[in-house]
Amino acid sequence: MEWTAYLRIGFIVAVYLLGPFFIIWLYKRYKALSKVGTIVLAYALGIIMSLSGIMDDAWPGDAVLVSWQSTLQTLCVPLAIPLMLFSADFKTWTRSLKKTFVAFFCGVVAITCAVFLAYTWFKGLGIPELDKAAGLMMGFYTGGTPNVASLNIALHPSSETFIMVNTFEIFITFFLLAFLVGGGFKLVRKVLRYLPDELAELQGGAGQSRKMARTEKALASSVGTEASDFENYDGLFTRPVLKKLLLPFGCSLGIFALAGLLSLWLVPKDYQVVSVILVITTLAIALSFWKKLRNTPKMFELGMYFILVFSIIIASDFSVAEVGSGAYGLMGFIAVILMTTLLIHLILAKICRVDADLFTISAVGLIFSPPFVPTVASQMKSRRCLLSGIVVGLLGYAVGNYLGVGMYYVLNSVF
């Protein structure tokens, strides 16, 4: 292999590993880009690499590059999952936010029904890998990109399917976000009962109000920052913070190794990758009850670094030439899932007496993920909803992998 091939591979791998630093700098430096989000910026960087021609198969040494890509993907997602779950304070939430759990349950049931129904409607249209797209959508609408990254490893869709699902999902849900931020939540208040923060505190009494304040403080502590500042990368790569992160990083490595060994010994070969992802998720949730580990700062952000590396790799492998006629059907599939999810969620919220603002913010937490919750909650002027929306989103991180894998295997067994 010529020296130019080594130079190309070294440059590409350097972009994979150092690109997230550039993305984080852009995210912190420009307010407009902070609204777009780090994941979208990572996809943009990867697609630019793909369109530039540097990723073409015709280059010598392409097999070596593919090996690097596979190795990095195999490492990044299993390391990211525990780091993003360790800070979750499930004990506090289950004790203090019962109505939030009702809203979360309604949302999960709605998403599950919507994906199943949409698959039955679209399965005869010849859309490639529709079953895997359905599994990915379960992950998207119960946690977002971290879950989808895990499901990409577990379900192994093509790069084209993965990027198209991501692209269409971002495009379609943008209009929902714009609708809610623009005041669409007021329309929901006309359908479901509206319970302002002040009235909620009066109904709950002074004791309930004090409990909510204590819970909000515990949540801010559990995520390592203020609830309204979810992806805060300040100080992440400083020596004191990195020293503290050695414990969770070591735990992530240990969980990865243990999950791999258990799957290798106990699980049939065809199901080993799926089992590794699910075992990692389960062990990470279990370790989140260890207070010393849970209170370590910047774990979520370190996990996001690995997710950004993964996102750049996936996007760089995208090929426009491989996008077929099924793309339009896939876009319709995703649009139908979104609309059906909202409708079923609204009906269940009405039945379970979930108030309008809690319905709206739980939908945001599930469909858009926690970083988007403060934007909508600030428009709604609701501290109560800020707390609930973030908790719903974090719970989605915990269950999304199970639901995505489960949906894929249910669809394959039923159809």
Region of residue 60 (phi > 0: left; psi between -120 and 50: alpha; otherwise: beta): beta
* H or E element in which residue 94 lies: helix 90-96
Which pLDDT band holds residue 383 (cuts at 50, 70, 90)? low
Average pLDDT, the chain: 82
pLDDT of 199: 47
* Separation of CA 129 from chain center: 21
pLDDT for 227: 42
Number of domains in the chain: 1
Condensed to tens digits (0 to 9), the pLDDT of residues 28-76 reads 888 777 777 787 788 889 888 888 888 776 666 677 888 888 889 888 8
pTM reported for the whole predicted model: 0.75
Helical axes 62-85 vs 3-29, angle rounded to 10°: 30
Distance CA 278, CA 33 (A): 33
Burial of 183 (0-12, 13-18, 19+ CB in 10 A): exposed
If one compares 217 and 132, the residue with the highest pLDDT of the two is: 132
Residue that wins the pLDDT comparison between 128 and 167 = 128
Tokens of 346: 């609204």
Residue 96: pLDDT band (50, 70, 90) is low
Q: Which domain holds residue 378?
A: 3-228+235-414
Measured distance CA(371)–CA(393) in Å, rounded: 9
Tens of pLDDT, residue by residue over 17-26, are: 999 999 999 9
Distance CA 185, CA 192 (A): 10
Looking at residue 2, its amino acid is E
List, for residues 171-205, the tens digit of each pLDDT value: 888 788 888 878 888 899 898 888 664 444 444 44
130-140 helix and 383-414 helix, angle to the nearest 10 degrees? 160
* Residue 142 contacts residue 281 (beta carbons within 8 Å): no
